[in-house]
Structure 1
């Protein structure tokens, strides 16, 4: 496997990218989320690219404008549509044997792909789409608390703590009352995500990290019986745990092999 460093231009700004080469005619575009550079938090996206390329699929990653090694102004995910479209075009130019591209985005990168109706990709893997109107997610919300207590009730050690009297019941009652609050009404952003995704006609997989409040918030605001949703119960937001990364790799490989 060979990893090439390259650049492409969005307007007057140079954006830096990498291409992990592979012989197969289907490629993976990894779209960076938040203000993370293309290697991802703790280098997880670089590791994911290595694993996917080892299966023979080329992988393209890039820093959008204003992030990492790329020039220009950081316009946030809502202003990154041109970056996405140009990255897709650059991928096709640099890997001309690629006939089909799966785009993967986590957090607001997933939201970008939804808002852009896929942005020109052929299939989408959307992890923990961002549905908060503000730039910061609240520390607690009913969905997060419900997921937390479901995990605790499955844990034998948590039940033993209750029986030994090690649990502060005042704090538990406070959390339970917060958990019983109705979920907030879906934001206008959620409506925009639905509208954008409805324009996309290719395969879609929605991947949720079970321990992530962003993913939990998405599930609380999205149709419950959407068969495209898959949940990795013990995963944190970036799927950094070894088993979570394996789970993510297998879900992406399934889309790439369709």
Structure 2
């Protein structure tokens, strides 16, 4: 059964949902971006229902300033107190839970890394966010994806007769085309010491709990993480231990549709571990 409740975070009342189940290992879901606790296309609500049916309690919440919660939205980098308060509220609402595993997608995954240490038994991090603000031209467009993502995208388009026909008809935005092609010539630059990617790498190296990293290989955010944090991932995969990396051949950032079954299976495996 799903219950609605509230809990306190530094004087603000935060809205939450608890899916009851008898298991001693519970799942805390942290929403990414400015999404409410149900997630994109109700994906997190459906994941919670699936996991609870398998016997694990699930706690979801809206951080301050999002959805039904009070307070100021401080973004994922200012959400440490929200996550810590949610863990405490989860344990209070489900006192039989002895181990809490946290799942986050996109910048929620980054938040779970940045705000360590937290009272968690394990982490599940999907498509962690590594982008640093707007594009280099200072416009409103998002930052360019990594060169590997651009290369794969253009190779795919060149193989598609419809894309070539659009090019001949003048239906392609040449400014974006040249901007993308120019990025292919740029050699990857090492992450600056104060960059988000470098801070995530450092947090990964210092973690004391098991971590599962889930990457949708066709998703730009996952591609950016794989390129920005490539050395750390390469080391992790050569020296498997407390960190596991699993990949799905998909472009769905939120693991929509049938990808949701793959996600649920990996979450349940982490909960069982």
Smaller-chain TM-score bracket: 0.7 to 0.9
SS in 2 for 1:234: coil
Match of 2:208 in 1: 201
User: 1:83-129: per-residue Cα shift (whole Å, max 9, x none)?
Assistant: 00010011111111111111001111111111122522110011111
Task: Flag the 1:23–1:46 CA change in 2: closer, same or farther, 3 A.
Answer: same
Q: Measure the CA separation in 2 of the matches of 1:147 and 1:49.
A: 34
Aligned to 2:137: none
Q: Which runs of 5+ in 1 are unaligned?
A: none
Answer yes or no: is 1:256 the counterpart of 2:271: yes
CA distance in 1, matches of 2:189, 2:142: 13
SS state at 1:117 partner: coil
**Equivalent residue for 2:184?**
179
- Secondary structure of 2:258's counterpart equals helix
Distance 1:203 1:254 in 2: 12
Structure 2 residue matching 1:14: 3-state secondary structure: strand
CA distance in 2, matches of 1:16, 1:41: 17
From 145, 148, 151, the counterpart of 2:153 = 148
Measured at CA, do residues 36 and 159 of structure 1 come closer, stay the same or move farther in structure 2, by a change above 3 Å? same
The whole-number CA distance in structure 1 between the counterparts of 2:29 and 2:204 is: 18
CA contact (8 A) 1:235 1:244 kept: no
Cα offset for 1:199? 2.7
Pair 1:161 & 2:161 matched: yes
Farther off after superposition, 25-34 or 180-189: 180-189
- Whole-Å Cα distance in 2 between the matches of residues 89 and 146 of structure 1? 45
* Separation in 1, partners of 2:160, 2:35: 40
Aligned to 2:8, the other structure's residue is in SS state strand
For residues 77 and 217 of structure 1, what CA distance do their matches in structure 2 show?
Answer: 18
Kindly state the Cα deviation for residue 140 of structure 1 after the two structures are TM-superposed. 4.3
TM-superposed CA distance for 1:184, in Å, is 4.0
RMSD: 2.5
TM-score (norm 2): 0.83
1:114–1:194 contact (8 Å) kept in structure 2: no
* Moved >6 Å (runs of 4+): none
Cα displacement (A) at 1:81: 0.4
Please say if residues 147 and 210 of structure 1, whose CA atoms lie closer than 8 Å, have aligned partners that are also in contact. Answer: no
Range with bigger deviation, 108-117 or 62-71: 108-117
Query: 3-state DSSP class of the match of 1:61?
Result: strand
Task: Look up the match of 2:221.
Answer: 214
Measure, in 1, the Cα distance between the counterparts of 2:123 and 2:77: 18
